[in-house]
Every structure is written in structure tokens, then in C-alpha cells.
Amino acid sequence: MASWRTWRARWRLRGARGAAEPAAGGATAHYIAIIMDGNGRWAQRRRLPVAAGHRAGAKMLRRVLEHALDLGIREVTVYSFSTENWSRPPEEVAALMDLFVEMIDSQVPDMHERGARVRFVGRRDGVPEKLVRRIEEAEALTAANTRMTLYIAFNYGGRRELLDAAAGLAAHGEEASEENLRRRLYAPEMHDPELLIRTSGELRISNFLLWQCAYSELYFSDKLWPDFDEAALDEALAEYARRQRRFGGRAGGPHDAGAERAT
């Protein structure tokens, strides 16, 4: 029997869909990606230090992930720190590194208890040794969990991932094919996100999952990330359910919504 939390989450999602019928029966997103943007602006509007915005964003991430678990979402990939973020002021970067350690210590045990696997994607060179140890411990602790996988894109860049994958092909003398290239990505087992969410009103993907999001549905929210709560996620999922995905085909063809939703 579904838990009260799960029943309530699914009831709220049905309510978010509203009276309008979703297209072609209503697709359910099982694999989503999120660009969590707007922490700094959230803090500035409240005349708070930028670090306070990142902390508020971390708290909201926890709420959104718990809601995703209750909804039965299978994979969530979040953009937590890009390769370009090292160019931010040193004090902000240092505060972020400390916050990542704190988040792993406080949130990963709870995610583990709820059956979620945690996997970090991105380069680890240049990352503080203390944080690398926490990353490795989190991945080892949750490795056998199967309820949901949380991919955390940390020190990540989509172009860098593709370059590293291409270098892997060359180093092993492998043919350049889609299948071989995918096997050289940072997380080859990751499903292509069906839905990519970006907060803060920015309309770009910022070098995030360039290979994986080739056919993802894009959803842009004006909410700053610390304000993107459970109801906002419900609305994004409801919007996804109203869309048709054709992958270059035509409505009603073999690649129309009904065929592509198989998971």
C-alpha cells in the first residue's frame, strides 16, 4: 500500500494538471534534470550574503528530492557546480565547497534510508581532498540502492564530458559511434532526461548534459531556485504531461508520445 506521503504527492500532482486533458493520455516523466539557478539573486533580494542563498537552495533541493521520491521518479540529475563556477569570487567558492561537505554529511544518510543511490558526475581534479573523500563515501554507502538515482553534476561541463569521452574512444582505439561514445560518458548508465527544468527565468542550458538532453523537453520557471518548491515541481511535471514528444517524427507516427514513454 502506498504511504500517506506518496498518496498525497500523487494527489497534488493530479491537481496541478488542472482541468485540461494532457496530450495523448498524459506522459509521466521518470527521468528529470534540473539547473538550480538563482541562489545568488534570491540572497541579494533579501540583502543577505550569497552563501545564505546557496544554503537556502540546498534546503529546497532536499524537499524537492523527497517529493520526487514520493512521486516515483527514477532519476534526478542536478547541476550543482560547473567547471565555469571556479571563476566566481574565491570566498564564494570556498563557502560552496564547505556547503557541499555539509550537505553530504547531513542529507546522504537520509537519502540512503529512503533507498536512493547518489552518484557524482564530473571531474574530481582540483576538488578539495576532504570533499573528494565525502563524495567517495556517499557513493559507496548508497551504491546498492535502487529506488531512485540522484546524479549530482559537480565540477561538470557538457563540452568537457564530450571531449573526455572522445579521448577515451581514441585511447582505446574504438570506432566513433553513438553507442561507443555513450559508454565513455561520465555516467553511461544514466537515462536521457525526459524533462530538463531550469529556474530563475534564464532561457539556456549552460553547458549541461549536452549529449543526454538532445531531445529533452525544456521547462523554464521564473522562480528562483530557493522558491522552487514541491508545487512548482508538480506544475513542471504537469506541463510535461501536456506535451507530445516526437523525436523528429510526426504526430501519430512510430516515434509519437505513446511509443517513446516506455521505460
Residue 81, φ and ψ in degrees, nearest 5: -160, 120
Max Cα separation, the chain?
55
Composition of the chain by helix, strand, coil, percent to 5: 50, 15, 40
Place of cell 544518510: 109
Residue 248, CA atoms < 13 Å, CB-side half-sphere:
2
Q: Are 35 and 71 in contact (CB under 8 A)?
A: no
DSSP state of 191: P
H or E element, residue 106: helix 90-113
Please tell me the distance from the alpha carbon of residue 140 to that of residue 130, in angstroms, as a whole number. 16
Q: Which residues are catalytic?
A: 37, 85
